[in-house]
């Protein structure tokens, strides 16, 4: 059993929590969770979502951290070593490759979307200092951005440089230093925006909109949506948490830190909803226009009319950029760690290689909005096809295999040692039962629904 990783170690329990929470908190938390909560029964959805976190999210998160900390290497090599120790087939390494490749694909198009947030943040900064024109027609502004391959490529490249600039410096000087600055900044920005939302006059209405339980909406599809959100929101299935787990000190309690990350991720999503929806409601914007429609076209219209709207807009898109940045760092890390182990490349060279190839693949997403807009793959645009393959297919399969590997391949002795030797028998057996039986079954339901089988 190794006690440290060649890539470095988190200096504390808090560093891991900040890094893992940064991985989990991304663009989807800021816009997707509040939107689907309001559309799926409010408080009823939140309750079912929390139950799904317990049944699906936490068992897989614990499993990823256990595998990573026990192996102390990249996901691919950790799984190889643990498979050898368990005298299991090395075919399980496919789980590591699947997660690393899925994260790489997601990084390629995620960087493009994150570039949009940089573009808007810079636009509001210029307006704030009197050097730029106000955004008077957000819809046209967004369309012009998507139509410009050159501008999209620039912001995509800048965001990728920001990401590799952190990963190249390693765990302590790169990842940990970044998250200890960026995550507190994210929380401060959220609280500032929440404070503004509380003074719009529509805060109570927003609270009701988000949390008033509508039990009539509880249905099979709604429960599948909650399970899917619980799975995807925690960055599971792409080996990011497994990689971060490899850098976790041996004396840190996995159930405690894993639960803290899950709670923090949920709290950020709920606060984001309470910050955004009072403004949405105050200005008569359709809350149903979730995703890019709400963030890049509807909200800027409200910012242009509200007091201190320019400063709010800049802070809001800075928040989105920080959330995207911390997630992208975790997407780049698994592939970088593997390249360092598998080749003679230095840490900086490996990170630059991953960034360069991800940037080049990201150009396909850039062009899918303009010069390749007519190209379709299975009836989907290039970006939608990449998103479907990586997020809708590869991640659930990765989560399923992670649960099976941790539950059935690793010995009870290993999992008990890693989770907590002092854990009560009933708690360990509950985790084992969930990981072996319940979680895989629920993931199969989510996967079948996403593939259109159910």
pLDDT digits (tens, 9 = 90+) for 297-309: 888 888 888 888 8
Of the chain, the percentage scoring pLDDT greater than 90 comes to 67
198 contact partners, CB below 8 Å, separation of at least 6: 274, 278
pLDDT digits (tens, 9 = 90+) for 376-435: 998 999 999 999 899 888 999 999 999 999 999 999 999 999 998 888 999 999 999 999
Task: Report the range of poorest mean pLDDT among 55-59, 61-65, 95-99, 212-216.
Answer: 212-216
Of the chain, the percentage scoring pLDDT greater than 70 comes to 98
pTM of the model: 0.94
Residue 356 and residue 361: Cα distance in Å, rounded?
9
Give the residues across from 377 on adjacent strands.
Answer: 380
Structure-block tokens of residue 218: 């509880």
Neighbours of 1 (CB within 10 A): 11
Residue 367 and residue 310: Cα distance in Å, rounded?
30
75 falls in which pLDDT band (50, 70, 90)?
Answer: very high
For residues 54-71, give the mean pLDDT. Answer: 95
| Rama region for 235: left / alpha / beta (φ>0; ψ in -120 to 50; rest) | left
Domains of the chain: 13-450 (1.20.1740)
pLDDT(359) > 80: yes
pLDDT(258) > 80: yes
Residue 242 and residue 114: Cα distance in Å, rounded?
24
């Amino acid at each position: 059993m190794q006690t440290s990783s060649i890539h470095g170690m988190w200096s504390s329990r808090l560093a891991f929590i900040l890094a893992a929470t940064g991985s989990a908190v991304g663009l989807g938390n800021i816009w997707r969770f509040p939107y689907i909560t309001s559309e799926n029964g409010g408080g009823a959805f939140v309750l079912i979502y929390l139950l799904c976190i317990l049944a699906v999210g936490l068992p897989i998160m614990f499993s990823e951290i256990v595998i990573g900390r026990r192996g102390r290497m990249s996901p691919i090599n950790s799984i190889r070593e643990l498979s050898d120790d368990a005298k299991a087939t090395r075919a399980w390494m496919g789980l590591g490759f699947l997660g690393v490749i899925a994260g790489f694909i997601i990084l390629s198009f995620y960087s493009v979307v994150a570039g949009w947030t940089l573009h808007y943040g810079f636009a509001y900064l210029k307006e704030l200092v009197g050097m730029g024109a106000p955004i008077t027609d957000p819809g046209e502004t967004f369309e012009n951005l998507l139509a410009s391959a050159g501008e999209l490529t620039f912001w995509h490249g800048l965001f990728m440089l920001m990401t590799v600039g952190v990963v190249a410096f390693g765990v302590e000087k790169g990842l940990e230093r970044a998250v200890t600055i960026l995550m507190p900044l994210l929380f401060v920005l959220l609280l500032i925006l929440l404070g503004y939302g509380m003074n719009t006059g529509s805060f109570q209405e927003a609270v009701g909109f988000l949390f008033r339980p509508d039990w009539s909406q509880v249905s099979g599809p709604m429960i599948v949506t909650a399970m899917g959100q619980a799975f995807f929101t925690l960055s599971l299935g792409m080996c990011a948490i497994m990689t971060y787990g490899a850098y976790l000190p041996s004396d840190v309690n996995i159930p405690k830190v894993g639960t803290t990350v899950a709670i923090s991720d949920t709290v950020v999503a709920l606060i984001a909803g309470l910050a955004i929806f009072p403004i949405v409601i105050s200005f008569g914007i359709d809350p149903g226009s979730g995703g890019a429609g709400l963030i890049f076209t509807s909200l800027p219209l409200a910012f242009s009319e509200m007091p201190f709207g320019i400063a709010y807009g800049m802070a809001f898109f800075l928040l989105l950029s920080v959330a995207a940045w911390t997630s992208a760092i975790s997407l780049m890390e698994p592939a970088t760690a593997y390249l360092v182990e598998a080749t003679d490349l230095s840490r900086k060279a490996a990170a630059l290689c991953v960034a360069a190839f991800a940037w080049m693949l990201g150009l396909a997403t850039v062009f899918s909005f303009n010069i390749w807009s007519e190209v379709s793959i299975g009836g989907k645009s290039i970006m939608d096809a990449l998103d479907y393959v990586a997020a809708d297919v590869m991640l659930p399969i990765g989560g399923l295999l992670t649960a099976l590997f941790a539950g059935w391949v690793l010995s009870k002795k290993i999992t008990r040692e890693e989770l907590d030797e002092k854990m009560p028998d009933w708690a360990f057996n509950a985790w084992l039962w969930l990981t072996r039986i319940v979680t895989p079954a629920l993931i199969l339901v989510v996967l079948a629904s996403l593939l259109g089988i159910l």
